[in-house]
Amino acid sequence: MFPHASLPTSRKGYNEVSNFLRKYVDKENILFFSSASCIIFFLCNFYKKIAVPDQGAYNGFLEYPKLLGRRVVKVKTDFGLVDLEDLDRILKKEKPQAFFVTSLAGYIAEQPMKEIKEICENRDVELVEDASGFFTEKLYGDTIVCSTGEPKIINLGFGGFLMTNNREVAEYMRKFKKICKFPPFLYDALFRKLEEAENRLKILLKYAEMLKKELENFNIVHKDKRGICVGILTKTENIKELTKKLRTDRGSSLITACPRYDRFLAEGIVVEIKKLDVFKISRIDIVKIAEILKEHLGD
């Protein structure tokens, strides 16, 4: 029903891609892998104890430390947005080595990253920021992780990268580059996707805001926050028909049912605007999505 992105090609390589990335994040070490999941898995092994949000973050933040026998402590959030007082309390009491957080809580709301960074610095805790949904904006992590899988801001369909000034982290992660190798021929296509990433994010933010306005009578999660998806608190017992009706042209549903850790832990749905090829749709498509939502959820 709604179009999806395709993979382009270009003629750029590792150096060009790395230099382009440094326009946004000034980090000495940039390492490319087959996926951001691999990066986060190995980072979870690097730190013996980490703190994570209690919802609205990547599932691997919880799953990987369990597999690796590492300790995890949870920080309270408001539907994914970090409670700064509780963050400070947890870091002081539990003394984790790192705090793992996504730039956008559940892809629906911008985290208070500046304040999070200050608290982590004061408590001497490494800030690991997953910027997969927000790259090209100002980032604060000591270590930045970004997926270039699909659907993401850098929408390549494969891979991910790590950026850091922490030499110990960089040297540790280099050990695994051959295990989770990023194919050299994909740097070409990655450069093209980087060139369009900034514009892609701007359009996604605009369309998400537009959808919120179309659905102003609904209970929108973090209505006044920037995000690239839209969360709605609603009953979900009859949601199957809606998930079937709102799909991309590749068959992927635009609807994610909650509760779930990587969005929010309450009954509702998330409209996955980020799955759309924003260069091929218009305001009319957003209005159509809103109309279908109103029809199935009630206005």
- When the pLDDT of each residue in the chain is averaged and rounded to a whole number, the result is 94
User: What digits encode the pLDDT tens for the residues 222-247?
Assistant: 999 999 999 999 998 888 889 989 99
pLDDT at 260 over 60: yes
Using a pLDDT cut of 90, give the percent of the chain over it: 89
In which band, very low, low, confident or very high, does the pLDDT at 299 lie, cut at 50, 70 and 90?
Answer: low
Q: What are the backbone angles phi and psi of residue 236, rounded to the nearest 5°?
A: -125, 10
In Å, how far are 1, 106, 188, 249 from 253, measured between CA atoms? 10, 17, 29, 9
pLDDT at 8 over 50: no
Q: Which of 114, 66, 122 is nearest to 89 (CA)?
A: 122
Q: Other C-beta atoms within 10 Å of 113: how many? A: 21
CA 208, 211, 216, 217 torsion: positive or negative? negative
* Whole-angstrom distance, CA of residue 70 vs CA of residue 72: 7
All structural domains of the chain, each given as residue ranges with its CATH number in brackets, are 14-192 (3.40.640.10), 198-297 (3.90.1150.10)
In which band, very low, low, confident or very high, does the pLDDT at 141 lie, cut at 50, 70 and 90?
Answer: very high
| pLDDT of res. 13 | 86
Q: What are the backbone angles phi and psi of residue 277, rounded to the nearest 5°?
A: -80, 95
| pLDDT of res. 6 | 43
* Whole-angstrom distance, CA of residue 264 vs CA of residue 66: 21
| pLDDT of res. 67 | 97
Q: Which of 212, 36, 237 is nearest to 108 (CA)?
A: 212
* Whole-angstrom distance, CA of residue 185 vs CA of residue 47: 32
* Mean pLDDT in residue range 66-91: 98
